[in-house]
Structure 1
Amino acid sequence: MTHHGKGANVEETIQKGTRSRRGMLPKLDLTNRLERTTAMDRTIRALAKAVRGRLRPGGLRDLLHGVPTGTPAHPPLATASLGCWVATAVLDATGADPRAARTVLVTGLAGAAPAAAAGITDWSVLHIEQQRVGFVHAIANLSAFTLYAGSLALRLAGRERGGRLLGYAGLGAASLGGMLGGHMAYRQAAGANHAEQVTHLVPLGWHNLCELKDLPDGRPVSRRLGYIDLFVLRSGETVTILADHCSHLAGPLHQGRLTSEGGVTCVVCPWHGSTFRLSDGKVVHGPATAPQPVFQTRVRRDGIIQVRPAEQA
Structure 2
Amino acid sequence: MRELLTKLEQASRLDRIGDRLQQAVQGTLRTQRIRDLLHGVWLGHPLHPAMVQVPVGAWISAAVLDLMPGQRRAATTLIGIGTASAVPAVVAGLNDWAALSRDQRRVGLAHAAANSVALACYAGSLAARRNGRHGMGRALAFLGLSVVSGGAYLGGHLAYKQGAQVSQSISELHLMSDGWHPLGELATLPERQLLTREIDDVSVVLYRHGEEVTVMLERCPHQSGPLGQGEVQEISGHACVVCPWHGSTFRLNGGEVVHGPSGNDQVVLPTRVVNGRLEARLP
CA 1:254–1:235 in structure 2 vs 1: closer, same or farther (change >3 Å)? same
Letter in 2 for 1:133: V
1:81 to 55, 75, 90: 55
Query: Are 2:175 and 1:203 equivalent residues in the alignment?
Result: no
Alignment partners' CA distance in 2, 1:279 and 1:309: 16
C-alpha offsets along residues 220-250 of structure 1, whole Å, 9 cap, x if unaligned?
Answer: 3432111311113456886542110112222
Alignment partners' CA distance in 2, 1:28 and 1:160: 38
C-alpha offsets along residues 177-222 of structure 1, whole Å, 9 cap, x if unaligned?
Answer: 11101111111121222223638824223x2224668867654343
Residue 55 of structure 1 aligns with which residue? Answer: 29
CA contact (8 A) 2:272 2:280 kept: yes
Aligned 1:271-290 pairs, distance under 5 A = 271-290=245-264
1:261 to 210, 235, 241: 235
Q: Which moved more, 1:182-191 or 1:101-110?
A: 182-191
CA RMSD of aligned residues (A): 2.5
CA contact (8 A) 1:151 1:162 kept: yes
Residue 247 of structure 1 aligns with which residue? Answer: 221
Residue 278 of structure 2 aligns with which residue? Answer: 306
Alignment partners' CA distance in 2, 1:96 and 1:39: 49
- SS of residue paired to 1:222: strand
Q: CA deviation at 1:146?
A: 0.7
Instruction: Give 5+ residue unaligned stretches, structure 1.
Output: 1-26
Alignment partners' CA distance in 1, 2:177 and 2:116: 46
2:167 to 184, 189, 193: 193
Query: Are 2:190 and 1:223 equivalent residues in the alignment?
Result: no
Q: CA deviation at 1:297?
A: 5.3
Q: Which moved more, 1:35-44 or 1:83-92?
A: 83-92
Residue 131 of structure 1 aligns with which residue? Answer: 105
Q: CA deviation at 1:256?
A: 1.6
CA 1:54–1:256 in structure 2 vs 1: closer, same or farther (change >3 Å)? farther
Alignment partners' CA distance in 1, 2:30 and 2:233: 17
CA 1:154–1:261 in structure 2 vs 1: closer, same or farther (change >3 Å)? same
Aligned residues: 281
Larger Rg: 1
Q: TM-score, normalised by structure 1?
A: 0.81
Q: CA deviation at 1:102?
A: 0.5
Alignment partners' CA distance in 2, 1:41 and 1:212: 49
Query: Are 2:13 and 1:36 equivalent residues in the alignment?
Result: no
Letter in 2 for 1:158: G
Alignment partners' CA distance in 1, 2:59 and 2:137: 13
CA contact (8 A) 1:241 1:294 kept: yes
Q: CA deviation at 1:91?
A: 1.9
- SS of residue paired to 2:215: strand
Aligned 1:65-214 pairs, distance under 5 A = 65-196=39-170, 198=173, 201-205=176-180, 207-210=181-184
CA contact (8 A) 2:217 2:266 kept: yes
Alignment partners' CA distance in 2, 1:71 and 1:132: 23
CA 1:261–1:118 in structure 2 vs 1: closer, same or farther (change >3 Å)? same
Q: TM-score, normalised by structure 2?
A: 0.88
Q: CA deviation at 1:122?
A: 0.9
CA 1:146–1:113 in structure 2 vs 1: closer, same or farther (change >3 Å)? same
- SS of residue paired to 1:158: coil
